[in-house]
Amino acid sequence: MTPTQNARPTPPIVSKIARSGTDSVTVFGQDLIGMLGTVNLGDFAYLEIFRRLPDKNESVLFNALVVTLVEHGVTPSAIAARMTYLGAPESIQGAVASGILGLGNTFVGTIEGAARICQQHLPATGLHDLGGAPRLTNDEIEKLATRIVAEHAQKKAPIPGLGHPVHKPVDPRAQRLFELGRELGFDDSPTRLMEALSRLASERCGKTLPVNATGAIGALASTLGVPAEVSRGLGVIARAIGLVGHLIEERRQPISKSIWYRAEDEASADD
């Protein structure tokens, strides 16, 4: 609250995102009507993030990144959404919101961590000079990776985006995304950095630490120029789609009640 006597000065309220007239709607200056039937949902998401439509290659890579994040099966986020749907079936938006809230530091946060490493150490990437990242030599990448692994080892901190319980020795999603970025001719410096980190970290701790899907997405999001702080938004967009899929399955073939009853009965059993 503020003292009632006087109002605080405030800057004007401006948004450049959308404009609407009696027979027109524009989004970031593009005619919405003209985009209906020609622009796919992934490209429109790109427009929302970059304020321009992607070119052909950006479209392919961006759609692939987000598609990778849509579905991961019966995750904590999907269970939360299904539990919420059980209690409030009248409100699909509440169930999806409930699931999205779990996209925090533990899971999607690793995309952000991997993107941050790439964007701190490969300064030319990032929204500002999109695509303008100079290719680093392999020697430069190797030096950089060696330093980063040492720093993390010293802090006993894991390197975000490395390691997977199931996908070994390689995560097929990461492998395909990296391959795609190269086929499409994007600067592969972030990719090579993550690959070098994986190799050096695996050597150092003597177990296989493949670049996982979030690591690859953090690297390629950096290539495309998505700022690290926003990269989490890619996960949110993707999982909102996946959660709707889970709620449709929950309507048809519910599992939330079994999960609940079993957990509750075991949790409250006498010791």
∠ CA 73-65-201, rounded to 5°: 85
- Selected range binding a second copy among 28-36, 116-124, 130-138, 195-203, rule: CB under 8 A: 28-36
- Figure out which of the listed residues 54, 58, 75, 163 binds a second copy, where binding follows CB under 8 A: 75
- In sequence order, what DSSP letters do the residues of 95-153 get, joined into one string? HHHHHHTT-STTTTHHHHHHHHHHHHHSTT-SGGGTT-PPPPPHHHHHHHHHHHHHHHH
Residue 104 makes contact with a second copy by CB under 8 A? yes
Q: Which residues of 182-191 are buried (b: 16+ CB within 10 A; e: fewer)?
A: eeeebbbbbb
- Of residues 238 through 257, those in contact with a second copy by CB under 8 A are 238, 240-242, 244-249, 251, 253, 255-257
Residue 11 makes contact with a second copy by CB under 8 A? yes
Cβ 131 to a second copy shortest distance, Å: 18
Residue 199 makes contact with a second copy by CB under 8 A? no
Which one, 145 or 194, has the nearer CB to a second copy? 194
- Figure out which of the listed residues 86, 124, 153, 205 binds a second copy, where binding follows CB under 8 A: 86
Total binding residues toward a second copy, as defined by CB under 8 A: 130
Euclidean distance between CA atoms 45 and 26, whole angstroms: 15
Residue 143 makes contact with a second copy by CB under 8 A? no
∠ CA 250-237-20, rounded to 5°: 115
Cβ 150 to a second copy shortest distance, Å: 25
- Figure out which of the listed residues 12, 154, 185, 206 binds a second copy, where binding follows CB under 8 A: 12
Question: Which residues are registered as beta bridge partners of 5?
Answer: none
- Selected range binding a second copy among 136-144, 187-195, 217-225, 229-237, rule: CB under 8 A: 229-237
Residue 77 makes contact with a second copy by CB under 8 A? yes
- Figure out which of the listed residues 139, 156, 166, 206 binds a second copy, where binding follows CB under 8 A: 166
3-state secondary structure of 22: coil
- The side-by-side arrangement of strands in the sheet containing 18-21 is 18-21, 24-27, 30-31
